Amino acid sequence: MSATEAQPPLEELFNPNSLEYAYNPGPQCLALAERGPFVWYEPWQAWMMTQLPDIMACWKAEYLSSDFYDWEFAPPRPPEDQWSNFERALIGHSLVADHAHHRLVRKVVSPAFSRNVVDEIQRRIKPDVERLFKELGRPEVFDYKEAISNHIPFISITRMIGVPEKYWDAIKPVIMNFTQTWNPTISDEQREKARQECNQAIDILKEIVAERRHSPQQDDFLSELLKIEQENDKFEEWDILTLILALIGAGADTTLVAQQWTVYSLLKNRDQVATALATPESFANTFNEVARWGMNGKMGFARYAPQDMEILGQPVRRGQMVLLMPHLYKFNPEYFPEPEKFDVTRRFDPDIVFGYGPRYCIGAALAKRQLYLSMTELFKNFPNAELAEEPERDTSDHNSITFKKLLIKTNC
């Protein structure tokens, strides 16, 4: 019997939906990485790319597709004359557009993510975050997830984009559920519900864009995009809409998970709070360490083979999913000495928390800034806060480990 045949099935070594993984993912991630650089994972009918240099090369060269409709199990790609708002956004999406157009979009919109704009967005969000804590009062114990973190993504995104409050109720479903439209693990019924919510929300975004054209606002994110549209012939309204949807898709999920894990990490390591929150820049590095130490990822980044091809010595069929799994390296002592130790001054080189190369998340600075704001507010209101109990892990999310509750004892 060969060494390969003697190995146990991969799903016996790596099961990110298990409680064992939820409480201690490091050993399973290391076991997966040791299995090989490119392995087949039967439960998800997907290939997994496990080694960081290979993943970074894939991100940089972009030889795999990001288009959901290229997946072998996706619904048929509808012809253009049958596109609804959703198809027009997703098929022409700034994140999955052809490479040349995607790079153009990133280049022309970079002013909309300048330090001045990020500072202005923080100023807009700050009163809402302060109000959340003011309404909370001074309880002995509270659930941070229910009282604060569940509200932050919606507040951040609506204020960032500049969505008037009169539209908040109607647009909330898409902000909280947009990523379900391309989630490969949910039912067709769930995906269709999310798709219809997206269609309705895009109609609202169109109204908001029309209003903002009529009454632009200085240092407003949407106003910045409209200014860019006027100056660039190849950047048009659907680029604005799909860029907003991309920020919604990335921001809602990322923010909700990051809020929980940042609070948990800092409360478990109280001696590092002052260093972590000293400046927005020090917190940016703290965010990377939270993402590393918390190890909450499951599936990684989904890509699809655009044609029959060979990847790292393995034949891959057109349409098969390839999962880039950069989080596997986070507990590897070759990259991070004493990986079990939480250290907000740890260096990250390369910094791949938000991707790498042409597909590096353009909204990374925005995500880190709103987290810095909410963490600062938490410890300003409750400087002696501590965990009331070790939180129970929630394994129900398709791509992240979260907490069922996050109870904080305020010691007020």
pLDDT tens figures, 331-353: 899 999 999 999 999 998 888 87
Mean pLDDT of the region 272-280: 95
What is the overall mean pLDDT for the chain? 86
Mean pLDDT of the region 366-381: 91
Top-confidence residue, 229 or 253: 229
Residue listed under structure tokens 């800034």? 369
pLDDT tens figures, 136-163: 999 999 999 999 988 887 787 777 777 7
Q: Output the 3-class SS for the chain.
A: CCHHHHCCCHHHHCCCCCHHHHHCCHHHHHHHHHHCCEEEEHHHCEEEECCHHHHHHHHHHCCCECCHHHCCCCCCCCCHHHCCHHHHHHHCCCCCCCHHHHHHHHHHHHHHHCHHHHHHHHHHHHHHHHHHHHHHCCCCEEEHHHHHHCCHHHHHHHHHHCCCHHHHHHHHHHHHHHHHHHCCCCCHHHHHHHHHHHHHHHHHHHHHHHHHHHCCCCCCHHHHHHHHHHHCCCCCHHHHHHHHHHHHHHHHHHHHHHHHHHHHHHHHCHHHHHHHCCCHHHHHHHHHHHHHHHCCECCCEEEECCCCEEECCEEECCCCEEEECHHHHHHCCCCCCCCCCCCCCCCCCCCCCCCCHHHCCCCHHHHHHHHHHHHHHHHHHCCCCEECCCCCEECCCCCECEECCCEEECCC
pLDDT band at 84 (very low <50, low <70, confident <90, very high): confident
Residue 105: what pLDDT? 76
Residue 303: what pLDDT? 93
Residue 289: what pLDDT? 95
Percent of the chain predicted with pLDDT > 90: 44
Q: Residue 3: is its pLDDT beyond 70?
A: no
Q: Are 10 and 42 in contact (CB under 8 A)?
A: yes
Residue 184: what pLDDT? 63
Residue 183: what pLDDT? 65
Residue 339: what pLDDT? 92
Residue 333 token pair: 């002592």
pLDDT tens figures, 305-328: 999 999 999 999 999 999 999 999
One-letter amino acid of 334: E
pLDDT band at 364 (very low <50, low <70, confident <90, very high): confident
Residue 85: what pLDDT? 83
Predicted TM-score (pTM) of this structure: 0.87
Q: Residue 255: is its pLDDT beyond 50?
A: yes
Mean pLDDT of the region 244-265: 80
Q: Residue 47: is its pLDDT beyond 70?
A: yes
Residue 1: what pLDDT? 38
Minimum mean pLDDT among 174-183, 184-193, 400-409: which range? Answer: 174-183
Mean pLDDT of the region 222-237: 85
Residue 181: what pLDDT? 67
pLDDT tens figures, 191-211: 788 778 888 888 888 998 998
Minimum mean pLDDT among 66-75, 85-94, 268-277: which range? Answer: 85-94
Q: Residue 2: is its pLDDT beyond 60?
A: no
Minimum mean pLDDT among 85-89, 134-138, 356-360: which range? Answer: 356-360
CATH of domain 3-409: 1.10.630.10
Ordered by start, the domain boundaries in the chain are: 3-409
Residue 326: what pLDDT? 92
pLDDT band at 261 (very low <50, low <70, confident <90, very high): very high
pLDDT band at 176 (very low <50, low <70, confident <90, very high): low
Percent of the chain predicted with pLDDT > 70: 91
